[in-house]
Amino acid sequence: MNLTKQTIDQVDLRNKRVLIRVDFNVPLDDTGEISDDSRIRAALPTINRAIDEDAVVILCSHLGRPKGTTKPALSLAPVAKRLHRLLNKPVIFVNDCIGPSVENAVKQAKSGDVILLENLRFHPGEEKNDEQFSSQLASFADIYINEAFGTAHRSHASTVGITKYVKNAAAGFLMKREVEALEGTVENPVRPFVAILGGAKVSGKIGVIKNLTGKVDKVIIGGGMAFTFIKALGFEIGKSLVENDMLDLAKQTLEQAMAQKIKFYLPVDCVVADSLEPDAETKIVTVQEIPPGWYGMDIGPASVRLFGEAVQNAKTILWNGPMGVFERDAFSRGTFALAHSVANAYAKTIVGGGDTALAVHRAGETESMAFISTGGGAALQLLEGKHMPGLAALPDSPY
């Protein structure tokens, strides 16, 4: 599956001012330090391409959800420090993303310089896709590169609006890899093709399940969303997470999968807790025996074995969503065990961003995966076969 949009290698960057929309929305710990810099590393090939072409490289990104106000805790200053280390060259950090301070920094920059602008979302115009904000951003650049797959499903000024005001635009190397890996896997998988879907809610993944039904050979469901399916089958689930308005749809999905001869796996046991407190009592029960008032928090050991066997003969595995509340040690075993099973399968493994990428990282299996997406919500939207505004706004490839 080739990307049909113009890409960075089809554009002349030499001595140009190149504005690259990156996705540096990285996790920060309590001290404000970056706890995982994989999103920064993922953009390095595109940044280095522009540096090699003697461009003035201007990087812009969001971080967190400041909702149009300046929040020092969400400054991109720590990202500038990390980028300096990764590029092994100075990074000029500007404490705004539009206005005179940016204008001056760009004017004074020499070929090969790298400038990082402050958090785009400190301005309300970014998320509103405001025309004036878009044109101000575009005024600093000759060429715009969208490298932020993680926000390609958003109609924001830095992903959509800006494309109207620049002379030329293209997708970066990461954007190209993301689209080709995810779309290519779904459209042309080597079989058997197994989809693993987890996370909290069925409503967030139902579009993916529908789009994949008919394309996959097996579906494995875990995480909080499994309890909606389990309740739809008529079992009591205690106080486990459930979307009652999705019960009928869950039942229909199960029936449709059976009709199409797709193997559909649900947990057979789970780890339950008597409260949501850190010191809660926990035990392992079958899904038919969840006690009233208890919460399902992870898949149990029998489910781990069942799911592990289900992926053993796979040739393509697509995984989006953890199997439980893996952030807490007591409920991490199911997700981590599945990460090991997926890593050990002789298959092309595609991990769909966000929490799943973090879980795979914590399980120590990052290097074993063929491709880990940098975008959670964007990956989901692409897997649903939905319109991606940030991608649609780019010009088509001339070749």
Positive or negative CA dihedral for 268, 336, 34, 353? negative
pLDDT at 214: 79
Residue among 19, 15, 8, 11 nearest 138 (CA): 19
The tens digit of pLDDT for each residue in 87-102 reads 999 999 999 999 999 9
Query: HEC string of 266-296?
Result: CCCEEEEECCCCCCCCEEEEEHHHCCCCCEE
In whole angstroms, how far apart are CA 236 and each of 36, 252, 256, 337? 39, 19, 23, 26
How much is the CA Rg of the chain, to the nearest whole Å?
A: 22
pLDDT tens string for the chain (399 positions)? 568 999 999 999 999 999 999 999 998 888 889 988 989 999 999 999 999 999 999 999 999 999 999 999 999 999 999 999 999 999 999 999 999 999 999 999 999 999 999 999 999 999 999 999 999 999 999 999 999 999 999 999 999 999 999 999 999 999 999 999 888 888 889 999 999 999 888 888 888 888 888 789 999 999 999 999 999 999 999 999 999 999 999 999 999 998 999 999 999 999 999 999 989 999 999 999 999 999 999 999 999 999 999 999 999 999 999 999 999 999 999 999 999 999 999 999 999 877 898 899 999 999 999 999 988 888 888 888 888 999 999 999 988
Number of Cβ atoms within 10 Å of the Cβ of 145: 32
* 3-class state of residue 350 by DSSP: strand
pLDDT at 205: 87
The tens digit of pLDDT for each residue in 329-356 reads 999 999 999 999 999 999 999 998 778 9
In whole angstroms, how far apart are CA 247 and each of 250, 260, 266, 299, 372? 5, 20, 15, 20, 31
Residues 232, 233, 235, 238: what is their CA dihedral angle, to the nearest 10 degrees?
Answer: -30
Domain boundaries 189-383, corresponding CATH code: 3.40.50.1260
Q: Using an 8 Å Cβ cutoff, are 378 and 150 in contact?
A: yes
pTM: 0.88
Residue among 350, 367, 319, 354 nearest 23 (CA): 354
Give the CATH number of domain 8-175; options: 3.40.50.300, 3.40.50.620, 3.40.50.1260, 3.40.50.1370.
Answer: 3.40.50.1260
pLDDT at 293: 95
Q: 268 exposed, middle or buried (CB, 10 Å; 0-12, 13-18, 19+)?
A: middle
pLDDT at 1: 52
Report residue 134 as tokens: 């878009």
**C-alpha span between 175 and 171 (Å, rounded):** 6
- CATH 3.40.50.1260 boundaries in the chain: 8-175, 189-383
Q: Which residues are catalytic?
A: 39, 201, 354, 377
Contacts of 31 (CB under 8 A, 6+ apart): none
Report residue 202 as tokens: 């069925």
